[in-house]
Each structure stands twice: as C-alpha cells, then as structure tokens.
Amino acid sequence: MKRPALYSRSVRSRMADRQEAPEPVRADASGYLREVVEMPTAGAPLRSRFQTFLRHRDRVLWIVVGTSIALLVVFGQQAMSPPAGRITQADIDAAVLRALETKLLPSLAAKAYEIVRPSVVGVYGFRPEQKPKKLPEQSVGTGVVIVDKGLILTNLHVVNEAERVNVIFADGHESEATLVGLRPEHDLAVLQANSIPKGLTAATIRSTTDLALGQEVIAVGFPFGIGPSVSAGVVSGLEREYLSPEGQRIFTNLIQFDAAVNPGSSGGPLVTTDGHVVGIVTAILNPTNQGVFIGIGFAVPIENAAAAVGIPPF
C-alpha cells in the first residue's frame, strides 16, 4: 500500500516543478530568439491583472496628455498673433486713389466714341457733268447708320444734286447708296447702301426731352474729309432757329452746341456721353461768312431725324 502513496507524491512533485520552472526561450523560423509570454489566465493572481490594467491606463493617459499639450500650443500661437485690423473708409479711399494714379481711366468722350464709331460713315457725292470714271468729289459729309440693314441718315445739302453717292463704313467697306427719303424742312436725307458689311451695327438713338443745357456731348464726322474725327463740348441751347446761308429756309427747334464742327461734319451724329445719338449735325454759325467754326453749331433733334426714316417718335 505504500507504493501508490509514493507514486502519488512523485507526480505532485513533478507537477509543482513544472509550474515553477521558467518558460523556455524559443527560436522562431528566422533564427532569432524570442521569449514566449503567456497572457494571464482567469486563474492568474489578481495582482497581475491589476498591473496589466495600469499599463493600459498609462498608455491612454499619455495620449490624452500629448493631445492636450498640442492644443495648448496651437491656441497659444493664435493668442499671441496680432489681430487683423479693420478696413476703414480711409483705407478704401487710399486704395482707389492709388489705382487712379497708376491706371488712367478712359474719358467720357472716348467711351462714347467707341460706342457710336461702328455706325458712323463717310458720305461722298459726285458731280453729274463728269464721266463716271473721272467723277470728282462734289461734296464730303458724314452719315450715321440708323437701321442695321444699311439705312443711313445725313444732311440733304451733302447729297443734293449729286449724280452718285458713295458711303464708306467704319471697317472700310465702300458701297454706292441710293437716296430713298427727303426732309427738306430739316435738311435731312435718307440713304440706302447697296451693300453692307457683315455685322453692321445701328446707332442707339435717345429722346431729347431730358436734354439739358451744359450736358456733355461729342460730335463725330469727317471735317474737310479728315476722319472720323471726334470733338467734345456741351449743349449750349435748345429750340434754336437758323437761317440757311442762301436765306431760303429757316430751320427751327435746333440743338445748339459748342463741340467743334466744320464743313464735312454735316450729317454726323451728336452723341451723349453714354453713346446715344440725340441729333444730326446740320449747320454752323459764323457772321464772317468764312464757313469755319467759331463755337456755335446746330443739330436737328433725333426725333425729327427718326421721323424721316419712318421710325415712330419716342
């Protein structure tokens, strides 16, 4: 009966030795030695589980602390930065002034001319007594396209008694033109160009009911055949009368202006600074009878001119 007891103690002794023996160090497939660490089991002492919890808690704590420090650094930099100044009206005025000093804006006259320029044409009349190939110019004047199909307004005295009339458009296109309408009481003539350039633009017309003395205007034309030329001035008077040089007709309800015009300017547009045509240049007044400008010009209001074309009044 003693042998089983001895056997039993031997087994327990070996089991105890196995539990107390350290875990062997093993080599992995790469030949490096690695220690085998076993996670605590449910039967592990409470102290080991508590130590594992503390290790995990410390790791989370360090992450929280690091994040807090980073946030404090960012907010500290923002607090130390100087605040952006508010933009005042003085700052805006100074910026506008600097822009005006460095870049000149186009004048009102320049902008008005650019708007009306595509609609202005040169008008040339020829004497009837000469052969067609040698026809000298009888007269030089100006016209303005009032309908984009090639309908042109000019002065009657520019084309009166001409056997043939030619017009030259802003892009250089030249065409013969036919007289299709007359308004002798306003010294107006309506021409239809036989051919027109592509993309022809008609001028924009504007009522003269709100035209005021001192209002800026420009005159565009071919004075003495030079042009197109631009001159600037103001409206000097309204509802003026003018006696023709021959003394045969009195023209009424004219616009008086002081933008320079001369022979060849007749039939050209009188234009406001927004590029709208308010009149057709008709005559100049010079008591010396020299036929040159001394500061008084006259234009037919566009209402009368539009009626000559058949356009209804405003």
* Active-site residue list: 157, 187, 266
Supply 227's token pair.
Answer: 């042009």
Cα→Cα distances 101→96, 104, 107, 141, Å: 9, 7, 15, 40
SS3 125: strand
H-helix or E-strand spanning residue 76 = helix 46-80
**Listed residue (137, 194, 136) closest to 169, CA to CA:** 194
- Residues ≥6 apart with Cβ < 8 Å to 162: 125, 126, 127, 128, 138, 139
Question: In terms of DSSP H, where are the helices of 150-274?
Answer: 156-159
Count of CB atoms situated within 10 Å of the CB of 180: 12
What's the rounded Cα separation, in Å, for the pair 204 and 85? Answer: 48
**Token pair 């420090």 is at which residue?**
69
Question: In the chain, what is the straight-line distance between the N-terminal and C-terminal CA atoms, in Å?
Answer: 140
**Token pair 């790469």 is at which residue?**
30
